[in-house]
Amino acid sequence: MDYYYITDPGKVRERNEDSVCICENNAGEKLLIVADGMGGHKDGEIASSIALELICDRFKNISSIGNQEDAINWIQGTVSEANVAIFKYVTEHPESLGMGTTIVLSVLTPSFLLIGNIGDSSGYIYKNKKLHKITIDHTLVNLLVKSGELTEEEAKNHPKKNVLMKALGSSTNVEMDIFNVELNVDGIFLCSDGLTNMLDDNQIAKVLNESSTLKEKLEKLVFKANNRGGNDNISIACLIKEENHGN
């Protein structure tokens, strides 16, 4: 098993408002998180780091996340805690009103694999040299596609592409979409939209299929995203379960 995470400010943004982490608990179960902060100035950076640090700290200090039902309850409860922590910060720092963060996470145990999201950071499984997106973006444009008002092609370049319908810190009650994913996968791939706005799924998979280390692959993906404009922060957390993918 090989895992690595990376974050980069991109070529346009003054600062990096993303937070990313891979950690494990006392049972060796893995948690991957990517959070993409929003709110301007340093506020997005603060929101994403509050969420990530709280969830990772809680995870690292539990003996085991338990069975699948326990894990889903733990995720929803801990994400709610993070939401409260962001609201508490805003109460104490009114100048930060409006800050929030997307979040995509994955929990991997020997018995099950869960992927959850709020916002438009993406969660994929990697299997048979292909990426398969699991999460559904909580965006206005995605809502319009679902209702038939926009086509997938029109959505790609829509001026309101990045308008979020759901984010951590945007509402007092926010629930994460959680997907139970087959355990028989080759890997897990989480990223912020700074990557997916620059590279499509096939382009990302092509790099993952190369014969190099996982670190080199993720660095190459960041380089490619920056080479295509790098107009947002770029963050990736990836775990490869098998050893036959050039790692």
Q: How far apart are CA 113 and CA 185, in angstroms?
A: 9
Q: Which pLDDT band, with edges at 50, 70 and 90, does 141 fall under?
A: confident
Q: How far apart are CA 31 and CA 115, in angstroms?
A: 10
Q: Whole-structure pTM over 0.85, yes or no?
A: yes
Arithmetic mean of pLDDT over the chain: 93
Domain boundaries, the chain: 2-240
Neighbours of 13 (CB within 10 A): 17
Q: What is the mean pLDDT of residues 177-199?
A: 96
Indicate if the pLDDT at residue 92 is higher than 60: yes
Residue 243: its pLDDT value, please?
A: 55
Indicate if the pLDDT at residue 40 is higher than 70: no
Indicate if the pLDDT at residue 7 is higher than 60: yes
Q: Do 122 and 191 meet the contact criterion of CB atoms below 8 Å apart?
A: yes
Q: Which pLDDT band, with edges at 50, 70 and 90, does 246 fall under?
A: very low
DSSP H helices, 61-192, are 68-92, 140-146, 152-156
- pLDDT tens sequence across 198-245: 999 999 999 999 999 999 999 999 999 999 999 999 999 999 986 544
Residue 41: its pLDDT value, please?
A: 60
| Of the options 3.30.420.40, 2.40.30.10, 3.60.40.10, 3.40.50.720, the CATH number for the domain spanning 2-240 | 3.60.40.10
Beta strands in the chain (DSSP E): 2-8, 18-24, 30-38, 100-108, 113-118, 122-127, 130-133, 177-181, 187-191, 234-240
Residue 206: its pLDDT value, please?
A: 98
Q: How far apart are CA 97 and CA 226, in angstroms?
A: 30
Start-to-end Cα distance in the chain: 9
